Amino acid sequence: ASAGCKHRGLTVTCIDVGQGDAVLVSFPNGKHWLIDAGGNPAGDTEAGIDPGHRNVLPVLRAKAIQSLDVVVMTHPDEDHVQGMLAVARHIPVGRVYWNGFEGSRTEQRVRTKFTQKGTSVEAISVGSRTLVGDVEVAVLSPPLSPIMGTRSPENENSVVLLFRYKDKSILLTGDVEEEGERELLRSAQSELNGISLLKVAHHGSDSSSTPEFIRRTH
């Protein structure tokens, strides 16, 4: 596939980065979004553990993707943003979205690197919608009033994205936990019904995937 190829359908590639998330969404009109890029939770890149170089960039090269239209950092945890350093250094990116929560030193370095390269970095929240060709992308989280006072506000306020294409829907949930899922059930209403592909929250942790949320999205 090439970056200019048209009418390929909507393709979701879950990149194997070990710990963490990295999801490449390729749209029918040839646009490409990268949501997270994996990383070592301890923040250790000295041992050569760099999923950006080791896993993400090779996938982009294999798919002949020379630039990304949008990069999304769902939240600032190392296992979601560390691999973004390699992306920021080596791949032209049109726009970066994040959840507005400042976190690790790595996350701050990533935003700084994108800004230095002239890439717009914007905090987003629920209510934002856009059309990428004939695919609707809706931001369902973070809420306008952040969820605070929980074990991990960074996780609970992850960017959650809903992609709708023809009769299919794809829900990417970042690392939202119980309170974040409860807020989605309250605010997203019927948009959660009948999800075709669900990326379970927080890597399948028992802090997420509450029974009511799974029933609603089934």
pLDDT in tens, the chain (218 residues): 334 444 579 999 999 998 889 999 999 999 999 999 998 877 655 455 789 999 999 999 999 999 999 999 999 999 999 999 999 999 999 999 999 988 778 899 999 999 999 999 999 999 999 999 999 999 999 999 988 888 898 899 999 999 999 999 999 999 999 999 999 999 987 899 889 999 999 999 999 999 999 999 98
Half-sphere exposure of 14 (CA within 13 A, CB side): 13
Q: Which residues contact 112 (CB under 8 A, 6 or more apart)?
A: none
- Tokens matching residue 76: 């600032």
Handedness of CA 113, 60, 23, 10 (dihedral sign): positive
Phi/psi for 164 (5° steps) reads -120, 125
The pLDDT value given to residue 43 = 65
The pLDDT value given to residue 36 = 97
The pLDDT value given to residue 103 = 76
The pLDDT value given to residue 48 = 59
The pLDDT value given to residue 1 = 34
The pLDDT value given to residue 3 = 43
What CA–CA distance (Å, rounded) separates 205 from 9? 31
- Tokens matching residue 86: 């390699």
The pLDDT value given to residue 188 = 87
The pLDDT value given to residue 105 = 83
In single-letter form, the type of residue at position 99 comes to N
The pLDDT value given to residue 182 = 95
120 CB burial (10 A radius; 0-12, 13-18, 19+): exposed
The pLDDT value given to residue 69 = 98
